[in-house]
Amino acid sequence: MIKAQTAWPIDWDEAFDNAGHVPEAAAMAARWAGEAAVLRSAARAELDLPYGSGVRNRFDLFRPAGAAAGLVVFVHGGYWHKFDKSAWSHLAAGPLAQGWAVAMPSYTLAPEGRVAQMTGEMAQAITAAAEEVAGPVRLIGHSAGGHLVSRMACENAPLRADVAARLERVVSLSGLHDLRPLLGSKMNDILRLSEAEAAAESAALLAPRMDLDTLFWVGAAERPEFLRQTRMIAEIWGEGGARVRDHYDPGHNHFTVVAELARPDSDLVRALIG
């Protein structure tokens, strides 16, 4: 078990500052917005399907041309307080081209929503999407979304039993798995994490499902904290006997690594649905 940290010897704001270390991040976000809008209008899209009573409890569902091989659910990032599903629609292109349906949910963001609430909402969203598409279910989430899908790979994930039984693979992409360092960051003014909630929502501190294939994937050029957390959870869960792998994608930073999901022939897409 990882010991809780009571002092913060490094600058955690700097450690989590992805955009500040990727000068082209703003330009990429602007380009992606246009690409996402194109796919939303061109694909077989069912938009703003409800999965709960909250304003942001909606998901978009993209269907392939033929019968779906199964369902991929993509959970977006933004440090639990930014973005929504519409900014990432273009990333459905890779799995869609391989015959998989893709669901993309929004969720209640901080400070209105707590991280534990977001975990519950993702379980609801996955369940609602799974009711729309038959077959196996695979999850992929980026950054904060990587944390949320990792929580679905835990023994205490709040997934309905029949949906949990269909879940075959979880890919946590640049995820955070120990939330306690966030207590030492200015970001926690927005997240409002307590020590108890940070520990309870840290997948690295929880028991994993032993029957699930879980892949922790990170860009090799990302911030050291993301590399550390990827290595940490893979080692902890792997030593406990879980079916886990970790992969450090050469040359990719926090933003280019997720862009690979839009390419049908990318290593990331093959790892997700292969």
**pLDDT tens digits, 127-141:** 999 999 999 999 999
CA atoms of 82 and 78, how far apart (whole Å): 5
Q: What is the DSSP string of 239-257?
A: HTT-EEEEEEETT--TTHH
Reported confidence tier of residue 52, pLDDT bands at 50, 70, 90: very high
Say what the pLDDT of residue 2 is. Answer: 52
Secondary structure element (H or E) that encloses residue 29, with its range: helix 25-42
Reported confidence tier of residue 1, pLDDT bands at 50, 70, 90: very low
Tokens of 78: 């933004």
CA atoms of 54 and 57, how far apart (whole Å): 5
Residue-wise pLDDT tens digits, 142-201: 999 999 999 999 999 999 999 999 999 999 999 999 999 999 999 999 999 999 999 999
Sheet holding 243-249, edge to edge: 44-50, 58-63, 101-105, 71-75, 137-142, 167-173, 213-219, 243-249
- Give me the sign of the Cα torsion angle 241, 123, 43, 56: negative
Tell me the residue type at 203.
A
Q: Beta strands of the chain (E only): which ranges?
A: 44-50, 58-63, 71-75, 101-105, 137-142, 167-173, 213-219, 243-249
Mean pLDDT, rounded, for 239-267: 97
CA atoms of 18 and 44, how far apart (whole Å): 33
Say what the pLDDT of residue 172 is. Answer: 98
CA angle 51, 54, 58 (to 5 degrees): 40
Reported confidence tier of residue 227, pLDDT bands at 50, 70, 90: very high
Residue-wise pLDDT tens digits, 76-95: 999 999 999 999 999 999 99
265 or 16, which is more confident? 265
Please say if the pLDDT value at position 4 is more than 70. Answer: no
Reported confidence tier of residue 26, pLDDT bands at 50, 70, 90: confident
The mean-pLDDT minimum among 14-28, 164-178, 258-272 falls in 14-28
Say what the pLDDT of residue 25 is. Answer: 78
Please say if the pLDDT value at position 6 is more than 70. Answer: no
- Residue identified by tokens 């977001």 is 118
Please say if the pLDDT value at position 3 is more than 60. Answer: no
Residue-wise pLDDT tens digits, 95-154: 999 999 999 999 999 999 999 999 999 999 999 999 999 999 999 999 999 999 999 999
Say what the pLDDT of residue 197 is. Answer: 98
